[in-house]
Structure 1
Amino acid sequence: MDLNLTRVMRSSPYWPVVTHPTLRRILPGFAVSSLGDGMAVLAVSWLAIELAPAAERGFWVALAAAAYTLSGAVGALLLGRFLRHCRPTQLAGWDAALRAAALGAVPVLHAFGALGIEGYVALLAVSSVLHSWGQAGVSTLMARVLPERDHLAGNAVLAGAGSVATVVGPPLATLLIAFGGPATVLAVDAATFVVLAVTCLVVVPRDAVPQPAGDTASRTAGFAVIRRVPALSGLLALSFAFFLLFGPVYVALPLHVSDDLGASAGLLATYYTAFGIGAVLGSVLTGFLGRWRMWPTTVGIVIAFGVLMLPLGLGAPTTVSAVCFGAAGLLWPPYSSLSTALFQRSTPDALLPQALAAGSAVRVLAVPLGTAIGGPLAAGLGAAGTLRLSGAGIALVGLAAAAALALRAARPRREPPADATEPGGAKPPAGAGSGAGSGVGVRP
């Protein structure tokens, strides 16, 4: 029986990932920080609700949620000159250290009664300045230490860690909020990033991740690669629209729970936990999608996700809407992992951190922009109306992408250039090294 179990484990697409000597060092630290972030999802908005004036809660909740990620896009655009030659572990480690310092200041100032809503939002913004580069560092590390056939599984492992944290994190955050308030949750989150920083900067040896030779890329090289590959440009546009339309959920859902339903943070945690349970299952399934056509799968995920979001705003019973939200969570990790794999398979190894950071910047920008829009939308349409608009918009974007794929398939096929990636497949650019085509899915 044990022998059969061992054979099943070794035949799993995840076995080469979890047994890799370098990844065995970094994955525990990444899992711990993911747990902290899983708790912070609830605490960031709840502390903003506590600190903000009652008449302006929608505005400040939107601004706080946006600040937690928006400056990461700015950092990706402005810091390339200084960070493009850094090792992947440095990028991830410095990001974790900054997040630990900025988030750790929140409970300290709160304990002394010196934390206002403006200062809170500013600290959230500082905490994420390096986050696009940190995500790019982890994704690049995966790309360089794993062969291309294992990239999708590697992406799924990272997405799975975030998904498990989404299940476990909100209930833990609810307990901590009940006994110590949301600032206590952010103190724990800061401590988890200390663990990740030490892991990346101290535990992982400097020579554990191969470095490409002849890296002469400019700070804009990542965007140049994306512009040169039509499929990546289309993928980035799809991701931007998807995440932009999902952003208002971070404002509308807490307000729907607290104002429309008159419920506590526990119900909000239930929604997030349902999403996380679905995401865990989706992460497990993602590694087995290697034989599926990537573009049709990605577009189908967007359509189904939007449809599953609609019950939240249509007055469905809480049980039904929570189950649908959980089913949407099932689709999140496959989208993240598949879209990242397409980036990995189309980017030269020397340009991978820049391209991933550029792509992450665009995607990271989309969610806070959508979240910022969520405040005015919730004020004008109500929380339920905003949720309806979000779900319908995502589904329509997916349908538009499906129509574009169908039109492209109906055209006469021409031989693609050497650096092009066609929908449904990928071809590394000329000159790409063995590391081209790797990457990881990171929680949104």
Structure 2
Amino acid sequence: MLRDRRIAGLLLGDLLANVGTGMLLVAMPVQTLSLHGSVPKAIAIGLVEAAPFVLSTVLALAVGLGRVRVPPRTLLVADCVLRSATFAALGVLAVTGLLTLPVLVAGLLFGATFRLAGSSSRRLLATSAAGEAGRFSVNGLLGLNTTFALYIAGPVLGGVVVATAGAGFALFVDAAGALILLACVPREAGDRDALREEGTPESGWRILRRRPVAARLLVVEFFFNFLYMPVEVALPLYVSGTLHAGASGLGVLWGALGVGAFLGAALVSRLRNLPQRPLLVAIIGLWALCPIALAVTGDLTVALLVFGLGGLVYAPFTPVAYSFLQSGLAPGEQQQVVTLWTTGATVAAPLGLALGGPLIELTGSTGGLVLSGVLTLLLLPIAARAVLGRKTEGNPACASA
């Protein structure tokens, strides 16, 4: 796959852009805690974490549910340009001491308008260039990019930058990553393949209704992600309170998740021949144990081991799920369904974060971690019934997965 310059360039840009985003996992909670004023800490963190998903969800739903097709390359370019300009402006305000919590929330809200559409466009362009034979490998490489950048390099660098220069400088790095990705967008992209269809365009939801297994898996993934999000709100408070560590401790903990996720993503290609549906259900059950184990330990070393194992377990979920989904789609169905799927899976984030703030404020960081894990365990039998039941339903590609 990497011999194709279009794929290699896009994967490199994706990796570097995600490093900047990974730095914000550490920097934005720290920045928020310095700005929250009279707003409760957990509520403020939840608002900042949720802001990038709101407008981006609205736009992505319009693409996924509507019949108007926008070339993936156009959406990706728009994402890079808007994100780089807005985040650079936020960085200037942060380092000059003029940034306030409302401005930060508004900037993240506006600057990430094309976030979900851009994310699905990266996948569409890369998998379209790779073709059907290379789709599983490219999805695996995208997953490897995400786990390494978001959970290893990004958080570790974010902790270093926050400790040495201040949280605001991480915004500049993310803006620079968006510019690098813009330079890597192929000029002769696979837009025509991704958009090709015959007759009247269909919405992503109508297409999913013909593939009930994929539709049910989307519902399961929504709740899986929804129940995970309180962990992101609880983690900064858990690190500073229970573990008595600072920004560097939070960065190292995210890094441990990333190391495990990197190993898990690197093993994705070895899972190609395993039954995909039972694998996805098993991942949900094993991940649920992670936040519960975190809650019962007050030792940073043990927490690093637990979070690392959690990353190892979770990493294959996304590439396997996307390969499962795309295997049953015609070229003209890819954009609307992949965008809708990405949105449905990701819209759980702002909703989970919005719930996570009050939940963590009420139960505390360790109580929120336990509740997240227990509710995910309760999702397990529902997921098994939805994904494993009636295997002959839908198209042949889905039935054989």
Scaled by the length of structure 1, the TM-score of the pair is 0.84
2:234 is the alignment partner of 1:252: yes
Contact 1:159 1:333 in 2 (8 A): yes
Opposite residue 343 of structure 1, the aligned amino acid is L
The answer on 1:372 being equivalent to 2:354 is: yes
Alignment partner of 2:108 out of 110, 124, 131: 124
Code of the aligned partner of 1:100: S
The offset of 1:147, in angstroms, is: 2.9
Question: Based on CA coordinates, which of the two structures has the bigger radius of gyration?
Answer: 1
Distance 2:249 2:200 in 1: 48
- Aligned counterparts of 2:252 and 2:38: Cα–Cα separation in 1: 24
Q: Is the contact between residue 64 and residue 205 of structure 2 (CA under 8 Å) also seen in structure 1?
A: no
Matched, 1:144 2:128: yes
Matches within 5 A, 1:6-405: 17-53=1-37, 56-78=40-62, 84-165=68-149, 166-200=151-185, 204-206=186-188, 210-211=192-193, 212-214=195-197, 218=201, 221-315=203-297, 317-404=299-386
The 1:378/1:217 distance shift into structure 2, 3 A limit, reads: farther
Instruction: Tell me the secondary structure at the aligned position of residue 256 of structure 1.
Output: helix
Q: Secondary structure at the match of 1:146?
A: helix
Distance 1:214 1:305, change over 3 A: closer
Alpha-carbon distance between aligned partners in 2 of 1:257 and 1:217, rounded to the nearest angstrom: 53
Q: Which amino acid aligns with 1:104?
A: A
User: 1:251, CA displacement in angstroms?
Assistant: 0.6
Note closer, same or farther for the CA distance 1:61–1:244 as it changes in structure 2 (3 Å cut). same
Q: Which moved more, 1:109-118 or 1:35-44?
A: 109-118
Partner of 1:206, secondary structure, is: coil
Indicate the SS of the match to 1:53: coil
Q: Which whole-Å CA distance do the structure 1 matches of 2:82 and 2:351 have between them? A: 23
Calculate the TM-score normalised by the size of structure 2. 0.93
- Structure 1 pair 113–266 and aligned structure 2 pair: CA distance change class (3 A): closer
Q: Distance in 2 between matches of 1:121 and 1:326?
A: 30
Q: 1:223 to 1:420 in 2, by over 3 A?
A: farther
Q: Percent of aligned positions with the same letter in both sequences?
A: 27
1:288 alignment partner, SS class: helix
Can you list the C-alpha shifts for 1:380-434, whole angstroms capped at 9, x where unaligned? 111100000111222221233224556546xxx6xx56x4664552xxxxxxxxx
Query: How far has the Cα of 1:149 moved from its partner?
Result: 3.0
Matches within 5 A, 1:430-441: none
Q: Does the Cα contact within 8 Å between 1:133 and 1:353 map onto a contact in 2?
A: no
Q: Distance in 2 between matches of 1:257 and 1:210?
A: 48
Q: Which moved more, 1:172-181 or 1:336-345?
A: 172-181
Q: Paired residues, what number? A: 399
CA distance in 2, matches of 1:117, 1:54: 11
Q: What is the CA-CA distance between 1:206 and the residue it aligns to? A: 2.6
Residue 214 of structure 1 deviates from its aligned partner by 4.2
Q: Which amino acid aligns with 1:192?
A: G
Give structure 1 stretches of 5+ with no counterpart.
1-16, 426-444
Are the counterparts in 2 of residues 281 and 330 from structure 1 also a CA contact under 8 Å? Answer: yes
**Residue identity in the other structure for 1:19:** R
Query: Which ranges of structure 2 fall in alignment gaps of 5 or more residues?
Result: none
Instruction: Give me the CA root mean square deviation.
Output: 2.2
In the aligned structure 1, how far is the partner of 2:288 from the partner of 2:316?
A: 15
Deviations 1:125-168 (A, max 9, x none): 11221112111211111231223232121111111112221211
How many angstroms does 1:226 deviate by? Answer: 1.6
Return closer, same or farther for 1:350/1:115 CA change in 2, 3 Å cut-off.
Answer: same
Aligned-pair CA distance for 1:378: 0.8
Shift of 1:88: 2.4
Q: Say if 1:215 and 1:106 are closer, same or farther in 2 by CA, change over 3 A.
A: farther
- Which digits, 9 at most, give the CA deviation of each residue in 1:90-123, with x for residues without a partner? 2222212221122111111223433210110011
CA separation of 1:229/1:420 partners in 2, compared to 1, >3 Å: closer, same or farther?
A: farther
Structure 2 contact 144–265 (Cα < 8 Å) conserved: yes
In structure 1, what is the Cα distance between the partners aligned to 2:67 and 2:113? 12
Query: How far did 1:80 drift?
Result: 6.0
- Residues 313, 384 of structure 1: 8 Å contact kept: yes
Post-superposition Cα deviations, 1:247-283, rounded to whole Å, max 9, x if no partner, equal: 0011111111123333211111121000000111011
Q: CA deviation at 1:288?
A: 1.6
Contact 1:163/1:283 (8 A) holds in 2: yes
Instruction: After superposing the two structures, state which structure 1 stretch, 386-395 or 107-116, moved more.
Output: 107-116
Cα distance per residue 1:347-396 (max 9 Å; x no partner):
22112111111111111110121111111111111110000011122222
